[in-house]
Structure 1
């Protein structure tokens, strides 16, 4: 007579137990924010299906977070509407657990909104140093930054993971990868802040989304010592241009900046500024800082270009050189200035590349994604990655 050996480890009944599953918002919850996500906590399995419907039976589109901790509706929920979420979890044995939750959103918030601006437009072509930037007015307090950051989403194709980093005063947050974006990359951004509770007395203002591509790699290197600008494409020098930078009383900032705007024509009106008081029309102007530093055509200083710094902080070029440069650069191209009397202040422009990656990640309010940490191992720890040849060429 043979006796059956007992199963090792957990009993068979335990091995076949269905997964434990909890979902949020809680069933019958009321006054739920319109930014609500359907959260799921699973033990002994994984979420395999989520279906969200509104009070008219229509299905609500949603996407899972990378860690599958929640499903994020693709657009804000409606106010004073009732939603039902059905979540299915499957265990290793194949057994499933289903949980339903029904919740109702609150009325439109009477709290003042924080104004957010997404500096990333759709259907554009940007330079390889383009950071995704979101600005806030008033700034976001430290205690609320993690909640805001969790509602900022970036996808890249091909994948090139990165992270967000906050300017110290909370007025801006940047997203970048350890290395420059590869030419041809598609970047999709969503700033999903509408109705999001921010601190105790504010809410997010809007839900914004955009998808654009990365173009060829162009970089400008400006040296105050030589009074020359080097224009590089795919890491190769294509032209040197004489420049005149800011005079000692109004110096140009040294640091790593990004072209923020391009204007065929614009007017500088500095009346009321400490070192201003003038109004001048300029052509072929490219903004580098919020403080008003531009690269632009300046026919009045051609005699000084290449020899002396005479501007109010801008980079002066001849009219023909400035016009040529406008045809070469893109918003999002890196501009490096060195040798001047003052350093670039963090947050004065899109200064995501003015620090190393190791320093950049310290500004994140959340843990850096594992994928971005893995990518960092193959990237330079300084803000000067190796140029990648452009797919677009020429």
Structure 2
């Protein structure tokens, strides 16, 4: 995550606070101790005169006996390059990819306990435009939107990110929240999808800012990242849906209180709905389900008020043709059927990012089949991070697992390809 302070990388002068001297302070002894203190030093990367530096480069620092008090990064025309500091102080990440085949100069100043300062300068040249194939990334988190409290930040990759490259990619994925609610990224086992969430659902009113800073990043030996992607969105009210196959009822909650119950018809035994904890991914007032070429498919049907739950094509949607069965029998091809009036009402209540839990069906939700960050507990989710997760991150409470939750985490994830099979 980004540190909250923003740096425009120009030279900064930082004055050390004067030492308070009282009547009983031994001035000469203090001076001796100050003189004996080791002077500060700093190593800066990229190395001086380095060439063919990726445009994803950042100014890295390794400091001894001091702290960074000034950073200056300029291009070959002397213009400052704005950047943000990493939370651990290990470097500064430019706000945008550097330009190809350009020369940059970085100057870093550190101050030590001795009162002395040290400055190091490095000049490097970026590489020409890469001819390696790009890994396409898609950020399923849009700018200026309002999401539900369970909305994870989700990135999809094509081709998948190999295990040995995931740590480098993850280090370039930044999430900032206000108020602060830190979390971690977690990778699907096949590397096609990474999701970010906190231990608890987002607090209503939270602002989430995301940057996927992958343009020009070397990914493995044969590929580079395709693009930088940024988005800032808000978290809205807390809404959740519980769907029980035993009772054939959907219970709609807002802020923990029941708003309404709706009868449903789920997937028939040959095409069952998935049990698990998922998230509303998309909402469509009108869409078409086209299952030609799919198993048990072959039909094309227009539907209203459809809300996607999985990549595999499970939706909540209006199904006036099954209203006589809703609350009693399962007749769908895997979707949650509700009445036309109920579906219309539901569209006005829900948001993309709302939590949906289905329980009691014949099959379990597979990891990566949709936004599945909440289908496992926090500890299991954090195991999917390619970088160390701070030990202090944990849920504020340890509630009984939601009845719709499943263990998951080990089964291969399906390809994140949108299917409008529906039904």
Which band: TM-score by shorter chain? over 0.9
1:13 matched residue in structure 2: 35
Alpha-carbon separation, structure 2, partners of 1:49 and 1:363: 36
Alpha-carbon separation, structure 2, partners of 1:148 and 1:224: 40
Residue aligned with 1:244, SS: coil
Instruction: Spell out the pairing of 1:223-262 with structure 2 (5 A cutoff).
Output: 223-262=244-283
Kindly report structure 1 stretches of 4+ aligned residues shifted beyond 2 Å. 10-14, 377-384
Tell me the alpha carbon deviations over residues 339-386 of structure 1, each in whole angstroms, 9 at most, x when there is no partner.
000000000000000000000000000001x3xx424163437765xx
Displacement of 1:93 after TM fit? 2.7
Counterpart pick for 1:175 among 196, 207, 210: 196
Displacement of 1:51 after TM fit? 1.0
Quick one: structure 1 residues 337 and 377, their matched pair in 2 at CA, closer, same or farther if it must change by over 3 Å? closer
> Does the CA contact (< 8 Å) of 1:60 and 1:73 recur in 2?
yes
Instruction: Spell out the pairing of 1:205-284 with structure 2 (5 A cutoff).
Output: 205-284=226-305
1:195 matched residue in structure 2: 216
Alpha-carbon separation, structure 2, partners of 1:275 and 1:148: 39
Displacement of 1:18 after TM fit? 2.2
1:204 matched residue in structure 2: 225
Tell me the TM-score normalized by structure 1. 0.93
Between the two proteins, the alignment pairs up a number of residues equal to 376
Residue aligned with 1:87, SS: strand
Cα RMSD after superposing both structures: 1.7
Instruction: Spell out the pairing of 1:352-371 with structure 2 (5 A cutoff).
Output: 352-368=373-389, 370=390
Alpha-carbon separation, structure 1, partners of 2:234 and 2:395: 25
2:9 matched residue in structure 1: none
Displacement of 1:7 after TM fit? 6.8
Tell me the TM-score normalized by structure 2. 0.87
Tell me the alpha carbon deviations over residues 95-124 of structure 1, each in whole angstroms, 9 at most, x when there is no partner.
111000000001000000000000111110
Unaligned runs of 5+ in 2: 1-25, 403-423
Counterpart pick for 1:298 among 306, 319, 324: 319
Residue aligned with 2:109, SS: strand
Alpha-carbon separation, structure 1, partners of 2:179 and 2:79: 33
> Does the CA contact (< 8 Å) of 1:216 and 1:234 recur in 2?
yes
Unaligned runs of 5+ in 1: 385-394
> Does the CA contact (< 8 Å) of 1:356 and 1:382 recur in 2?
no
1:380 matched residue in structure 2: 398
2:101 matched residue in structure 1: 80
